[in-house]
Structure formats: structure tokens, C-alpha cells
């Protein structure tokens, strides 16, 4: 590094020639420094462009892979004509395995039906109790009808105890 009028310049072969010669002026050294700065800026811009080009190259590689796959499919089409008979035999064996899965599903459905029946019985009991209270309040004078209702109540109570 050489400082000339507060301008620091790397001693490159070109600068060394300027310094060694007697008739050089400080202005020429400044111009050299200025040119060197511009070159550095240009180089930095080029590096950014190179990064963008790398991304584009990746996309091109994907297109090349697709072309290779198409070539492989053409080769397989000739071989599949011979192998189709073997594949049909294998499919028949797979159908037997599927039947076992269906049996497991039927067992699950039976368990669900038992749970639904228990819920329905509980709902019916609540509805009958509400209706009995309303009939008692309205019909107190008729004694004959009361006796008939009592008999019905006993039967329903026995049924509810059994459930």
C-alpha cells in the first residue's frame, strides 16, 4: 500500500511503474484508483447474475430428466405385452386377501347396534313418566278409571325393573 494525497493504492506492477517514473503526477494515480473501483463494482454485479443463472440451470436439468423417463416408457411397452399374463394371475391371489378384511368390518357393525338399543330404552322411560303426572291432576273425580290406571302402572314398573 502507498498513500498519495490521502489516497491508498495497492502497489501493483502498473502502479510501481508510475511511481518509478519521474514525470508522473498524482492525478494519474487517482485516475488509476478510480478505474480500479469501477472494475470491482462491475465484477460484483457479474457475480449476482451468475447466481441467477445457476437457478435456471436447475430447471433445465429437470426437463432433461423427463426426456429420459419418456425413453424408458417406450422400452417398457414392448416388455409389458409379454408380462401381462403373469400380472393377471397375481391379481386373483390378491382378491382372496380382500375377503378377510370384509369379515372384520361386519364384527364392528354388530357392536355398534348393541349400543344404540340401550340408548333408546332410556329415552322411552323418561317420556312415560311425564305423561302419568298430567293425567293424575286432571281426572280425580272418576274412581273407576283410577283403578285401571294403577294396574297398568304395576306392569310398567315390573318391565322397567327387569330392563
**What was the pLDDT predicted at 163?**
44
Contact 129, 153 (CB under 8 A): no
Residue 48 has pLDDT above 60, yes or no: yes
| Calpha distance 113→161 (Å, rounded) | 23
Residues 84-143 have pLDDT tens digits of 666 666 666 667 777 777 777 777 777 777 777 777 777 777 777 777 777 766 666 766
pLDDT value at residue 128: 72
pTM > 0.75: yes or no: no
Q: What is the mean predicted confidence (pLDDT) over 78-86? A: 67
**Domain positions in the chain:** 64-100
Amino acid at each position: 500500500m502507498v498513500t498519495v494525497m490521502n489516497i491508498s493504492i495497492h502497489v501493483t506492477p502498473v502502479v510501481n511503474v508510475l511511481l518509478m517514473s519521474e514525470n508522473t503526477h498524482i492525478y494519474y494515480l487517482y485516475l488509476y484508483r478510480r478505474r480500479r473501483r469501477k472494475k470491482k463494482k462491475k465484477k460484483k454485479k457479474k457475480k449476482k447474475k451468475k447466481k441467477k443463472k445457476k437457478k435456471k440451470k436447475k430447471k433445465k436439468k429437470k426437463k432433461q430428466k423427463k426426456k429420459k423417463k419418456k425413453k424408458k416408457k417406450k422400452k417398457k411397452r414392448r416388455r409389458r405385452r409379454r408380462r401381462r399374463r403373469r400380472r393377471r394371475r397375481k391379481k386373483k391371489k390378491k382378491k382372496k386377501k380382500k375377503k378377510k378384511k370384509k369379515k372384520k368390518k361386519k364384527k364392528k357393525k354388530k357392536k355398534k347396534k348393541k349400543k344404540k338399543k340401550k340408548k333408546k330404552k332410556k329415552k322411552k322411560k323418561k317420556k312415560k313418566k311425564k305423561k302419568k303426572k298430567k293425567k293424575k291432576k286432571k281426572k280425580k273425580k272418576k274412581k273407576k278409571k283410577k283403578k285401571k290406571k294403577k294396574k297398568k302402572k304395576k306392569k310398567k314398573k315390573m318391565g322397567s325393573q327387569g330392563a
